[in-house]
Amino acid sequence: MKTENVFALVALAAVGAIALMCFWSRSVSLPRETEALIGGSVTLASSTKSIVIPKKTYDELAVPYMSEAPRGVWSGPWKNACEEVSIFMVDRFYKGQSTATTTDAENYMNMLFHEEDLKYGSNINSDSVRMAFLIDNYADFGEKIVKNPSVLDIKNEIESGHPVITLHSGFDLHNSHIPFLATGSAYHVMVIRGYDEKTKEFIVNDPGDSVDGADHRYSYLTFMKSLHDFDYTTGKADGAATVIFTFAK
């Protein structure tokens, strides 16, 4: 083989190697929708960041359930108490309790009603900011308001042992057990305590469902589409998709 042909082959091989190295050194990214729905255990490595997919296909935390009307009386503040009871359920979880009594729930929720009335003049329709105030001052856990979360974000929190408080437009949940009024705000709050990757469902404590609120299941799709903070300018649950991540203090 001629010397010039050998040099040409060596140069071509070198160019190919450099091109391959450049390709693999690029950051790997996924569309948010794809990232959110991948299951199993996968880590996508890049030169800047790794996306870690939850290892589990099923996870469930022992968050105690309580109805927003602890004694079944759906009147007065108890018909709009999903925010307060969601804080109560998560608070008791971080205290190490897997069950809770109606008396304990009523006492804690009445305290929150009182503090809301003093600060805001009302305890109805507390948005994420007001809920964060209550958590910061009257609960034994920490909080972080998160806008536009993905399914993956939420699953990672559950796998880390952190229940997630979620804010919704109630009609978008399509739960026939919760009679939202057409003239009302349709605002609703609940707690995610687990997920099932095989069925693509979140496992929640839904305090407004008097039939099967404990361990209720919502599909990922329905749940994520229903996420909305309360908007005081419209008086409706039509704000940004919002959740509250929680953690031990």
Predicted pLDDT of residue 40: 35
In a domain, 34, yes or no: no
In a domain, 168, yes or no: yes
Burial label, 16 (beta-carbon count in 10 A; 0-12, 13-18, 19+): exposed
- Domain, as residue range, for 126: 57-248
- 223 and 207 in contact (C-beta within 8 Å)? no
Amino acid at 202: F
In a domain, 9, yes or no: no
184-209 in b/e form (b: 16+ CB < 10 A) is bbbbbbbbbbbbebeeebbbbbbbbb
In a domain, 108, yes or no: yes
Predicted pLDDT of residue 56: 85
How many structural domains is the chain composed of? 1
- Contacts with 184 (C-beta within 8 Å, 6 or more apart), sequence order: none
Per-10-residue mean pLDDT of the chain, 249 residues long, equals 48 49 42 40 38 77 98 95 98 98 98 98 98 98 98 98 98 96 94 98 98 97 98 98 97
In a domain, 172, yes or no: yes
CA distances from 133 to 167, 246, 249 (A): 15, 13, 15
In a domain, 51, yes or no: no
Question: Residue 232 maps to which CATH number?
Answer: 3.90.70.10
What is the rounded distance in angstroms from the CA atom of residue 46 to the CA atom of residue 153?
A: 19
| Residue 220: alpha-carbon gap to chain centroid | 11
In a domain, 179, yes or no: yes
State the CB neighbour count (10 A cutoff) for residue 134.
20
Predicted pLDDT of residue 51: 55
In a domain, 77, yes or no: yes
Amino acid at 78: W
Predicted pLDDT of residue 13: 53
